[in-house]
């Protein structure tokens, strides 16, 4: 079984915040893979489903980001899960907007949700880091993550969470590298069509053509 946790803050006032991209990804996963209806469990909203033959519990902790560990810890203990069976999807300031990386273990890099989870279950769980970019000033971080995405960000948010949901089977199977590659391919912008070269145009060779 895989416990798939999306981080965010509950309530409509926070729904479009940068901090809530983990919730957005879980919502799309639940929709795309036809998970069952949400139920209040483990201090959060839990959805049961299956992906590529693997049982998955998608969890959105509802105690606000900085208390996410209470929810994750409750579910992890109930199912007696190993660290490799816990995957946390969260916003990442240190990645460019629209980029994704998967890692196992490590520090929290100042993310209060990761700090809380580590305090309850240890640090060696898997993390899907969804890049939201950095405001450029550490004193502006709290305001940045707790405000809504800009309208221009919609160009990459939808494709990114769609790609996470589409490539999920690889993540569930433990193929983190394959998952990252697949998401990168799915979110790669299409190459602009090259304009046709007018007849007789210089083809860029050196010299005068003699």
Active-site residue set: 19
Q: Which 3-state string (H, E, C) describes the chain?
A: CEEEEECCCCCHHHCCEHHHHHHHHHHHHHHHCCCCCCEEECCEEEEEEEECCEEEEEEEECCCHHHHHHHHHHHHHHHCCCHHHEEEEEEECCCCCCCEEEEECCCCCCCHHHHHHHHHHCCCCEEEEEECCCCCCHHHHHHHHCCECCHHHHHHHHHHHHHHHHCHHHHHCCCHHHHHHHHHHHHCCCCCCCCCCCCCCCCCCCCCCC
């Amino acid at each position: 079984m895989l416990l798939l946790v999306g981080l965010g803050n509950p309530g409509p006032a926070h729904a479009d915040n940068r901090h809530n991209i983990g919730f957005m990804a879980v919502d799309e996963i639940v929709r795309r893979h036809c998970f069952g209806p949400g139920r209040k469990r483990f201090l959060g909203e839990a959805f049961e489903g299956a992906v590529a033959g693997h049982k998955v519990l998608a969890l959105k902790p509802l105690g606000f980001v900085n208390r996410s560990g209470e929810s994750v810890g409750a579910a992890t203990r109930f199912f007696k899960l190993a660290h490799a069976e816990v995957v946390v999807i969260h916003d990442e300031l240190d990645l460019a907007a629209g980029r994704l990386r998967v890692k196992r273990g490590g520090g929290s890099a100042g993310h209060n949700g990761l700090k809380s989870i580590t305090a309850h279950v240890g640090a060696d769980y898997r993390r899907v880091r969804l890049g939201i970019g950095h405001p450029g000033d550490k004193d502006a971080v709290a305001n940045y993550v707790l405000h809504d995405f800009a309208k221009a960000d919609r160009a990459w948010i939808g494709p990114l969470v769609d790609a996470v949901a589409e490539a999920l089977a690889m993540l569930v199977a433990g193929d983190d590298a394959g998952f990252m590659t697949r998401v990168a391919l799915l979110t790669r912008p299409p190459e602009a069509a090259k304009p046709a070269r007018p007849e007789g145009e210089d083809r860029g060779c050196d010299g005068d053509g003699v």
